[in-house]
Amino acid sequence: MKTRLATLADLDAVAPLFDAYRQFYEQAPDLGLAREFLRARLAAGESELIVLESGDELLGFCQLYPSFCSVLAQPIFVLYDLFVSPSARRGGVASALLQAAEDLARQRGKARMDLTTARTNHQAQALYERMGWRLDEVFLAYQRELN
């Protein structure tokens, strides 16, 4: 198994994983939408997409968005998406992707990485905590739907 940055050449392989990720968060299946969203992000350089492959198969991905922390006055990454193919779970794929994301963040001079996850995603929460992530107990996250 190895991690690497995805390119536009990986779209057809990673789009089904991204579509499955969206379905995990209760979105309707839409492979075309998934592929186009990833294509647009990669083409514009708006995200870093790390994939983990074993042979010719992609087993998982994580997507990082560059952002900034005004309080620190430094750049950060927002780890927005992390998904492992169900057949590859419990095999160290998520840990490897998180470590690759951390390594990339350090290489790119990021001060911190932030992520959010569903309150019910206890397996992911346990993994994050084992890998040194801390639960933010100071700030609340709010959203404002615009559609």
Question: In which domain, by residue range, is 35 found?
Answer: 2-130
Other Cβ atoms less than 10 A from the Cβ of 80: the count is 14
Q: Is the pLDDT of residue 84 over 90?
A: yes
Instruction: Let me know if residue 140 belongs to a domain.
Output: no
- Each residue of 6-52: pLDDT tens digit? 999 999 999 999 999 999 999 999 999 999 999 999 999 999 999 99
Dihedral of alpha carbons 117, 123, 114, 19, sign: negative
- Both structure tokens of 133: 């992530």
Q: Are 85 and 60 in contact (CB under 8 A)?
A: yes
Q: Tell me the average pLDDT across 83-98.
A: 95
Instruction: Let me know if residue 137 belongs to a domain.
Output: no
Instruction: Let me know if residue 145 belongs to a domain.
Output: no
Q: Count the domains in the chain.
A: 1
Q: How far apart are CA 30 and CA 142, in angstroms?
A: 27
pLDDT band for 89, please (50, 70, 90 cuts).
very high
Q: Is the pLDDT of residue 143 over 90?
A: no
Pairing of strands 74-84, 113-115: parallel
Q: Is the pLDDT of residue 141 over 90?
A: no
Q: How far apart are CA 45 and CA 65, in angstroms?
A: 10
Q: Within 13 Å, how many C-alpha atoms sit on residue 89's CB side?
A: 9
Instruction: Let me know if residue 136 belongs to a domain.
Output: no
- Both structure tokens of 11: 């779209």
Q: How far apart are CA 63 and CA 77, in angstroms?
A: 10
Instruction: Let me know if residue 70 belongs to a domain.
Output: yes
Instruction: Let me know if residue 139 belongs to a domain.
Output: no
Q: Tell me the average pLDDT across 123-136.
A: 94
- 115 by Cβ neighbours in 10 Å (0-12 / 13-18 / 19+) ranks as middle
Instruction: Let me know if residue 146 belongs to a domain.
Output: no
CATH code of 32's domain:
3.40.630.30
pTM for the full predicted model = 0.93
Distance of CA 20 to the CA centre of its chain: 13
- Both structure tokens of 113: 């990485």
pLDDT band for 140, please (50, 70, 90 cuts).
confident
